[in-house]
Amino acid sequence: MMYMNIPAPFIMVIGGKNKHQSLLENWRTYEHHHNFRAIKKYFSKHKPALVIAYITDLEDEKFSRKTTQYIRDGLSNLDTRIILIREPDVTLDEIDWMETLQVNGCLVAENNKKSLNLSILNREIETFLHIDNYRIQHNAETDMLMCITQFSRDNEPLLDLLVKFSASLSNLCYSACSFHIKIKSNQKGTLCYCDHSDEQLKNALHTLLALPSIPDYLQSVLNENHPQIDLLPEVMQLSAIEEKLGTTIGSYLSFPISAYGKVIYLLCFLIPESQMDKVSMRQINIMNKAFEQLTMLLERRQAENSLKKQYQRLKLALCELKTTKAELQTKEKMASIGTMAAGIAHEINNPLSYVISNFSSLDSYLKNIMQLQDLQKEFLSSIETSQHKESQALRQHISEFEEEQDIPFILEDIRAVVSDSYNGLHRVKNIINDLKSFTYSQSTQLEICDLKTVIDDTLKLLTYDIADTISIQTALAELPEFMAHNGLMQQVLTNLVKNAAQALYSANTPQPIIKITAQHREKTVFLSVRDNGPGIPDEVREKIFEPFFTTKTVGEGTGLGLSVTFNIIKQLGGEITLESEVDKFTQFLIRFPVS
């Protein structure tokens, strides 16, 4: 019967004073220890398969008992096999050794029993290897199951999880080399992982597999979609790989990673010929169950990822829906207010024109009355020298009336009253014009807009309205031609620049700056008006484009400037947005598409 050559660390002999050599001569490689400290040090690094306690006298018995107690009780090691071999003249309580110290057997060193004793020792070694192999397999199974659970618990990338799972599966099937093939949608494959870093070995695998086409001996795994262990086909020439691995390959395991019936990765494991008999039906059944669980977990993981993506899409769609709803509500409100404003403008405009016209006539009448007053004074002067009693009485009465009614003050104040009333009516007229602009009542025909010229003309018109303390800066890039309306664009710029200037005045901003920028990118013209003023709070920002909304005191603003600006930009096919940060800046950004 042939036995595997067990390396020295697997067999330890203690005691015996070298008498054991005659029994173990030419048997196996072993280590002999007769120092307890050396034994403890040895066990801290190794786990022997067999400990032979050779007892020749009482001293050997005491040393063996101490060592056996340390192994069984101190280390809680019940796997290592312990065999007592005594000289024929030594008496032992074998029952006590076997029950109390849990030794695995007691032999007698007699020449006629040498063959039997060696056979028992070999059997004990095989028993240990079987137990150790079972333990290794159990640990490998546990590791593999833990790796499978990570597919459902961890958020690691799939490739990292596959590497961990592949390592546990390699231990289970005693693989000498493992590699992964990524399967593409066209049933082509690429080598994406190998557990050896040797580049020559990887090159040999590339030559062996001849990817991207999947070899026939692996194609069946893809078709059946199930793990398979097969003997090496004749077409697999592994001599170069075996040379690098230092072992002869006898079989291979193909393990597909699939979801919803589609193979994503193919894990391949090369099993040495010397380890083939260790892969039992138990391992194969465990692999099949692992495949089923892994497939289920991958499908669930893929479904969860799909749900997460769908959730993100729905969340984004909901945000867009809310934004669209808000825009529609704003447009509906603007349309309603626009309709109302059109009616108000129509009802007020006619009597307003009539009143303004009457004020022109009233001014002419006042002029005539004042001329008449002057003539009356001349008349009174001409009769001043007259001594007629009635004339004197009349002159006296007129003088008293003028003094009593304060006619000079009335004549002086009536012009101021007429002037203030006239200016107030013109202010009402301007509001009506703004309402007309707000309701799109004016006809606008798009034309090629010269934005640089519009900006220059606007700043010239505002020269006397903006104090010299405010710095106006422009940064105008080369702009393409785009369709707009020069007049309306000038009105928009006037409103924005005036608003910025008023904000800077009211906040007493040190070193106030208004910057006008125009540039072109991605088929869009961008025009911005930015100031370094007090900014606009969030609660005001939401209402800034609403009609009649103003933060100014009564009489200083109508709340129509930005509403008119908003509607003009919409009418011209553009878009205006507001960016602001309190105590830092306010910027209105206008976008026009370039066709």
Res 518 pLDDT > 90? yes
Q: Where are the beta strands (DSSP E) in 426-470?
A: 447-448
* Interior angle at CA 278, CA 258 and CA 206, nearest 5: 50
Looking only at the bridges linking them, the beta strands covering 513-521 and 471-476 are parallel
All CATH 3.30.450.40 domain ranges in the chain, comma separated = 154-279
What confidence score (pLDDT) does residue 515 get?
A: 94
Both tokens of 300, joined, read 């669930």
Give the CA count within 13 Å in the CB-facing half-sphere of 12: 24
* pLDDT tier for residue 4 given thresholds of 50, 70 and 90: very low
How many Å from the N-terminal Cα to the C-terminal Cα in the chain?
Answer: 92
Q: What are phi and psi of 212, to 5 degrees?
A: -85, -15
Q: What is the mean pLDDT of residues 129-158?
A: 72
What confidence score (pLDDT) does residue 431 get?
A: 64
* Cβ-based neighbour number of residue 4 at 10 Å: 11
Q: Are 545 and 562 in contact (CB under 8 A)?
A: yes
Angstrom CA distances, 18 to 31, 41, 51, 184, stand at 12, 21, 15, 66
Question: How many whole angstroms separate alpha carbon 122 and alpha carbon 138?
Answer: 24
The answer for residues whose C-beta is within 8 angstroms of residue 296's C-beta and 6 or more apart is: none
Position with higher pLDDT, 360 vs 16? 16
- Range from 194-208, 279-293, 365-379 that averages highest in pLDDT: 194-208
* Cβ-based neighbour number of residue 47 at 10 Å: 14
Res 8 pLDDT > 80? no
Where does 8-136 sit in CATH, by number? 3.40.50.2300
Convert the pLDDT of each residue in 352-405 to its tens digit: 676 666 666 666 667 666 766 766 776 666 665 555 666 667 667 777 776 776
> Mean pLDDT, the chain, as a whole number?
80
Tokens 């050779």 correspond to 54
Considering the four listed CATH numbers 3.40.50.1100, 3.30.565.10, 3.20.20.70, 3.40.1180.10, the one that applies to the domain covering 447-593 is 3.30.565.10
What confidence score (pLDDT) does residue 9 get?
A: 47
All CATH 3.40.50.2300 domain ranges in the chain, comma separated = 8-136
Point out which residues pair with 473 in neighbouring strands. 515
Res 17 pLDDT > 60? yes
Name the amino acid, one letter, at 383.
Answer: I
* pLDDT tier for residue 51 given thresholds of 50, 70 and 90: very high
Q: Are 515 and 473 in contact (CB under 8 A)?
A: yes
Tokens 């991605």 correspond to 522
Q: Are 533 and 512 in contact (CB under 8 A)?
A: yes
Question: How many whole angstroms separate alpha carbon 512 and alpha carbon 533?
Answer: 7
All CATH 3.30.565.10 domain ranges in the chain, comma separated = 447-593
Res 441 pLDDT > 60? no
* Cβ-based neighbour number of residue 58 at 10 Å: 9
Where does 154-279 sit in CATH, by number? 3.30.450.40
Could you tell me what percentage of the chain is helix, strand and coil, using 3-state DSSP and rounding each to the nearest 5?
55, 20, 25
Question: How many whole angstroms separate alpha carbon 422 and alpha carbon 357?
Answer: 10
Question: How many whole angstroms separate alpha carbon 427 and alpha carbon 496?
Answer: 20
What confidence score (pLDDT) does residue 474 get?
A: 92
